[in-house]
């Protein structure tokens, strides 16, 4: 019985993450030539790792998004070999935040995800979710983009691993 409940929950979670209920215009399928799920490119340098995700930067990164200068761009990979899961664009300043927000609305349309605590714009597409995180006191923030399908695959792998470990301990 326990197995059936766990399998049911896994299927529900994966289906919920992979079936996009939303769409937005010009939904990215990665960032700057890297598609979601791709390994790090040869021109990338390892930066650091956090919670099982390895971060890379491009050796010769164009730190602009549109015509807006950024502080840094980190590419997040998971697994061995690493698969591109997310990209985070870091910026400073209220003016930069406002310009990025306007650029994203022009490029991707009005945000389509409501009810988030901080009220910042978020978009959810068939595979990509994007959103801002901005600290008004520090006047710095980030714009994150992630692949729902790759995240769902990672969750499925981790749940299968946890399930197998739980079955071994019984």
Domain count, the chain: 1
**Exposed e or buried b per residue across 77-104, where buried means at least 16 C-beta atoms within 10 angstroms of its C-beta:** bbbeebbbbbbbbbbeeeebbebbbeeb
Tell me how many degrees the CA angle 124-127-132 measures, rounded to the nearest 5: 40
| 7 belongs to a structural domain | no
Count of C-beta atoms within a 10 Å radius of residue 47: 13
The per-residue pLDDT for 21 is 55
Domain housing 70 = 24-151
Whether 13 is covered by a domain: the verdict is no
Helices 2-18 + 148-169 axis angle, to 10:
170
* In a domain? residue 167: no
Instruction: Compute the CA torsion angle 104, 155, 11, 150 (nearest 10 deg).
Output: 40
pLDDT band at 25 (very low <50, low <70, confident <90, very high): confident
- The better pLDDT of the pair 18, 5 is held by 18
pTM of the model: 0.81
pLDDT, mean of residues 92-101: 96
106 found inside a domain: yes
- Whether the CB-CB separation of 55 and 72 falls below 8 Å is answered with no
Radius of gyration of the chain (CA): 18
> 91 near 68, Cβ under 8 Å?
yes
β-bridge mates for residue 91, sequence order = 141
Nearest-angstrom CA–CA distance, 159 and 70: 36
pLDDT of residue 169: 74
More confident residue, 5 or 126: 126
Q: Give me the mean pLDDT over the 70-74 stretch.
A: 96
Please indicate, yes or no, if residue 163 is contained in any of the structural domains.
no
Determine, yes or no, domain membership for 136: yes
Whether 143 is in a domain gets the answer yes
CATH number at 116 reads 3.40.1000
- pLDDT above 90 covers a percentage of the chain that reads 59
Query: Is 3 part of any domain?
Result: no
């Amino acid at each position: 019985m326990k197995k059936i409940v766990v399998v049911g929950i896994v299927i529900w979670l994966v289906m919920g993450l992979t079936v996009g209920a939303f769409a937005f215009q010009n939904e990215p399928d990665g960032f700057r030539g890297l598609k979601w799920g791709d390994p790090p490119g040869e021109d990338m340098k390892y930066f650091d790792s956090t919670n099982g995700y390895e971060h890379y930067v491009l050796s010769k990164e164009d730190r602009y998004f549109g015509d807006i200068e950024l502080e840094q761009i980190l590419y997040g990979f998971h697994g061995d070999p690493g698969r591109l899961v997310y990209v985070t664009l870091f910026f400073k300043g209220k003016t930069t935040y406002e310009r990025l927000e306007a650029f994203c609305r022009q490029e991707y349309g009005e945000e389509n995800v409501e009810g988030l605590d901080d009220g910042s714009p978020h978009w959810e597409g068939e595979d990509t979710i994007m959103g801002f995180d901005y600290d008004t006191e520090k006047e710095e923030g980030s714009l994150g983009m992630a692949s729902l399908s790759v995240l769902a695959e990672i969750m499925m792998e981790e749940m299968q691993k946890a399930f197998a470990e739980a079955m071994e301990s019984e």
